[in-house]
Structure 1
Amino acid sequence: MEDEQLPAALTDALDAFCRYISGERAMSAHTLRAYRGDLGSLLSFAAGEGCTGPEGLELGTLRRWLGTQSQSGVARATLARRAATARSFTAWALREERIDADPALRLKAPQRERQLPGVLQESKLNRILDRLEQAAAEGDPLAVRNRALVELLYATGIRVGELTGLDIDDLDQDRRTLRVIGKGDKERTVPYGVPAAVALDDWLRRGRPQLAGAGSGPALFLGARGGRVGQRQVRSLVHGLFEALGDTSASGPHALRHSAATHLLDGGADLRAVQEILGHSSLATTQIYTHVSVDRLRKSYQQAHPRA
């Protein structure tokens, strides 16, 4: 049933709600169409069950609508969005006194599927790092920088934005730690190992001085023109390194963060220590890496045990 075939009261409510959200929220035309499409689907379903106005919407109607969506193969993320649209609509209708009670208060959307992050095997990471070390040995300052940059990303698990924001003074080379400014301007101290320390020392001694200029300031990592290296440059570099492997689905610097966290846990690191290193505000966010470790353990077991 199309919008224009809806009962008049439902059509009026649909139009009024769309005017409300377009005025209250800065949203693209595409997002507004998605809202209208979701709500139009719900109201058409309700009208098919005999509902003639917003006051006829019931929790059962909403649940049956989501059920039919699920049975038709709609992705969980889409179902979650449509449930959110329904809740927004009924909450608005209650404020506008178009309904006496909100039927969506107990409407639960299906949980989004948890996407486990891509993790590189240590052997593949070693291949990348060995290639970077060989390239750096030739003395090109960008190659020296690239080695130090990737070593540090993997050694610390810091985000790309955190890496590009680093200044020289953020390094404590004696203690082998970094001062990192993370999300919400929260400061934390992150340790790094000997390979990253060697690569950083090489960069500071013979790489950075070749690129540094008047506009370099205190930036730790520089671009080809001497300014602070940008996130796009780092992403492009890491993506190219992964692509050159040819046998991994990992892409982008975040895979280095995922790999660092997983390898730490695989090696016996405490979950709370990993939380602090990564700068997660919630331990629940860090716990996803335990799922990665368990998943890898299960696969290894299934491949190796004769009675798996």
Structure 2
Amino acid sequence: MTGERPTPDGAGGGEQPAPALRRAVRGYLDHLTVERGLAANTLASYRRDLDRYLGSLAAAGVTDLSAVSAEEIERHLARLRASADGHPPLAVSSAARAASAVRGLHRFALREGLTGADPSRDVRPPAASRRLPRALPLDDVVALLETAGPVDAAGDTAPLALRDRALLEFLYGTGARISEAVGAAVDDVDLDDGVTVLRGKGGRTRLVPIGGYALRALGAYLVRARPGLAAAGRGTPAIFLNARGGPLTRQGAWGILRRAAQRAGLTVDGPRAVSPHTLRHSYATHLLDGGADVRVVQELLGHASVTTTQVYTLVTVERLREVYATAHPRALH
């Protein structure tokens, strides 16, 4: 993985972490799995981060968490951000995640009585650069949604075009992650009540309203297209199907969005390219622009913490600043 390295500088001499350290890490990871319900990818990242940390402690001759000092933690985190042994430094975001893993381990050890103090309490993680989410103007969203595929020879909308329109409307109309959309089952959607169940990160589920445009697109797809697509497969509860009747993959959904963006004349390459997450960002930003409370948007997005959602308020402030700068007669100096 780019930017990762097996062990930090000074931890590659072959020293093996003490059994007590390994037991503590196993207990913490079990806690994250069972009690916190962290996603598999997050757990794998934490495991790598903590393996690195144990290597650093072993190299320093530390055999128990109770013997760790704040200075030792700071040295470990500093090494992650330094280039050594031909390995590139970790990115700020990866180093911040590693710091979170280390601090979580020490908090857990204190809570479980494995140590008498938390040496990581006053250790500050590296500040990650805050990248504002990319949100499309409403006109671009409308152009994107209205570029469903071609009609067939009889002049009717082709089944796959109905699916594509339903998928795009669903993504923007619910703020779903791409994994949540392709993982949604037919029974998760209630067209009469206009709501859907979305199954998010860490096994969390939430109930989200579906807008009128998305409801109509879903209804047309479920009645006029999905039965024919399903007949070609072996039977799957997934809403969105591929041409062979199997569940649509995330890569397939990304291809649908990319083709629609190209037809709408939107950017599909480079740092400002339209992606599945772009529709989710646009959903959140447009809700806040319309006056929605940030706590409500947090629930709709399925964010565990409101601080994750608050980044979207920065987007709306930037937009207001742009409007002010161009419209107010005394905005420019």
Task: State the TM-score, normalized to the length of structure 2.
Answer: 0.64
Contact kept, 8 Å, 2:17 with 2:57, in 1: the verdict is no
For 1:139-154, list aligned pairs within 5 A. 139-154=157-172
Q: Alignment RMSD, CA only? A: 4.7
Pick from 229, 243, 267: which aligns with 1:247? 267
Pick from 106, 126, 132: which aligns with 1:116? 132
Q: Which residue of 1 aligns with 2:281?
A: 258
Change (3 A) 1:192 1:216: farther
For 1:283-294, list aligned pairs within 5 A. 283-294=306-317
Q: Which residue of 2 aligns with 1:180?
A: 197
Pick from 294, 298, 303: which aligns with 1:280? 303
SS at match of 2:146: helix
Distance 1:207 1:285 in 2: 37
Q: Cα offset for 1:180?
A: 0.9
SS at match of 2:195: strand
Contact kept, 8 Å, 1:156 with 1:260, in 2: the verdict is yes
Change (3 A) 1:69 1:159: closer
Change (3 A) 1:234 1:65: closer
One-letter identity of the residue aligned with 1:259: S
Pick from 166, 180, 188: which aligns with 1:162? 180
Change (3 A) 1:105 1:166: same
Pick from 210, 214, 227: which aligns with 1:196? 214
SS at match of 1:132: coil
Q: Cα offset for 1:262?
A: 0.8
In structure 2, runs of 5+ residues without a counterpart are 1-8, 31-44, 84-88
When Rg is computed on C-alpha atoms for both structures, the one with the higher figure is 1
Q: Does 1:208 align with 2:226?
A: yes
Q: Cα offset for 1:284?
A: 3.2
One-letter identity of the residue aligned with 2:279: L
144-153 or 208-217, which moves further after superposition?
Answer: 208-217
72-81 or 138-147, which moves further after superposition?
Answer: 72-81
Offset from partner CA, 1:255-276 (integer Å, 9 cap, x none): 2111111111112223333233
Contact kept, 8 Å, 1:3 with 1:40, in 2: the verdict is yes
Distance 2:317 2:244 in 1: 45
Q: Cα offset for 1:68?
A: 8.6
Q: Which residue of 2 aligns with 1:128?
A: 144
Task: State the TM-score, normalized to the length of structure 1.
Answer: 0.68
SS at match of 1:292: helix
284-293 or 143-152, which moves further after superposition?
Answer: 284-293
Q: Which residue of 2 aligns with 1:237?
A: 256
Offset from partner CA, 1:131-169 (integer Å, 9 cap, x none): 217658652210111011111211121223332323067
Offset from partner CA, 1:65-122 (integer Å, 9 cap, x none): 7679879997433543564687669x99xx9x9x997754432223333333221121
Q: Which residue of 2 aligns with 1:267?
A: 290
Greater share of residues in helix: 1
